[in-house]
Amino acid sequence: MQKNTYPEYALAALLCLSGSMNTVSANEPAPDQTVAAIEGAFGVTPGERRNHIKGTCALGEFVGTPEAATYTRSALFSSKPVPVIARFSLGGGNPKAPDTARSVRGMALQFKLPNGKLHQMAMLNTPVFGAAQPQTFLDLMLALQPDPATGKPDPEKMKAFKASHPDSAAQGQYMAANNPPSSYANSAYWGIHTFKFINKKNETILGRWRFVPQDGEKRLSEDELKTAGANFLEQALFDRSQQAPIRWDMVLTIGQQGDAEDNPTIAWPEERKQVKVGTLTIKSVMAQKGAACETINYDPLVMADGIAPGNDPVLRFRSPAYAVSFGKRLSGQ
């Protein structure tokens, strides 16, 4: 089996690990404590991601629209094709989780910009997140720890978690009301957090984005949930890519005064202005082992000039948490 060779910037990521720690404020849990809780909930597969472990790689490109330049000077939207290394995934750290699981689906993108610059996104198929604070995420992982007697999470602990963490409700309700997708190609993906978009005149707007599938959104029916089996998503995406390129439109929502900036569990009003700012085209799909996406840390704070993070504690916390998981898998743990 090919030893997964991590690119040189992996060491850089490790080296800046100490630096990135300072994005965590005093009253927040420690990133390594949170990753340990993820491991407690799902177990550890050496050398693999601690979360979103089950995934598929893909390659493609992104082309921005001219309208995007009104809001941002990012090279992402130069209207020239930008190469993309993508990864589609199932939430959680269980490599055997079935593709019918009522959990989140992820799409992560690494954009290869001119001059070796990178821009990264790691998105979910839910318009909001299940935690307004890193502490809620940690408390969820602790509530998910399997009961030694049953090997399953204790339903009483889950009930107590939900009762004491109202910020987890909105995402839970969305997932309860929407069955998992029948294919990664038939799912929308949201960046969820609020970001700052800065244009050439240094004007800044608050924005949120999502990727809308040109194939349309399709969800498993109740029957398919019973019959689809545990492993169909990778093959479905591969088969679809053999027919023709797979496309998503990137839609930017423009925030207004008072819209939530620091809370990813609160959606913005539907009537906000929306602008199509680009199209992602996936051209080839492959298994993760030995492929380009396997050795990428899709840290969402890796951003090129023109887009910057909003003041969101969960977004800030993700970077050091990903670095902990990445560091462990980099060293084969």
Reported as half-sphere exposure (CB side, CA atoms, 13 A), residue 210 has a value of 18
Cα distances (Å, whole numbers) of residue 35 to 68, 148, 158, 200, 202? 36, 20, 19, 39, 37
Phi, psi of 314 (to 5 degrees): -70, -45
Q: Which is closer to ligand HEM, CB of 70 or CB of 322?
A: 322
Asked about 165 being catalytic, the answer comes back as no
- Shortest distance (Å) from residue 191 CB to ligand HEM: 6
- The answer to the question of whether 6 is labelled as a binding residue is no
- Shortest distance (Å) from residue 92 CB to ligand HEM: 10
Choose, from 52, 119, 165, 193, the residue flagged as catalytic. 52
Strands 55-64 and 195-198: unpaired
Strands 189-190 and 204-213: antiparallel
| Contacting positions for ligand HEM (CB under 6 A) | 34-35, 38, 49-52, 55, 87, 89, 106, 108, 122-124, 129, 131, 134, 137, 192, 264, 297-298, 314, 317-318, 321-322, 325-326, 329
Indicate the SS3 state at residue 134. Answer: helix
* Residue of 82, 81, 88 whose CA lies nearest to 119: 82
Q: Which is closer to ligand HEM, CB of 73 or CB of 328?
A: 328
- Shortest distance (Å) from residue 129 CB to ligand HEM: 4
Task: Compute the CA torsion angle 332, 287, 191, 133 (nearest 10 deg).
Answer: -30
Q: Which is closer to ligand HEM, CB of 213 or CB of 264?
A: 264
Indicate the SS3 state at residue 117. Answer: coil
Q: Which is closer to ligand HEM, CB of 100 or CB of 325?
A: 325
Residue type, 54: K
**What is the Cα 312 distance to its own chain's centre?**
15
With tokens 């800046």, the residue in question is: 16
Task: Please name the residues in contact with 15: beta carbons below 8 A apart, sequence gap of 6 or more.
Answer: none
- Shortest distance (Å) from residue 199 CB to ligand HEM: 24
Determine the residue with CB nearest ligand HEM: 106
Q: Which is closer to ligand HEM, CB of 28 or CB of 70?
A: 28
- Shortest distance (Å) from residue 49 CB to ligand HEM: 4
Cα distances (Å, whole numbers) of residue 47 to 30, 44, 168, 287, 325? 22, 9, 30, 16, 9
- Shortest distance (Å) from residue 276 CB to ligand HEM: 20
Burial code (b: 16+ CB inside 10 Å, e: under 16) for 213-234 equals beeeeeebeeebeeebeeebbb
Q: Which is closer to ligand HEM, CB of 236 or CB of 330?
A: 330
Cα–Cα distance measured from residue 158 to residue 188, given in angstroms and rounded to the nearest whole number = 28
**Binding site as annotated, residues for heme:** 322
**Binding site as annotated, residues:** 322
- List the catalytic residues: 52
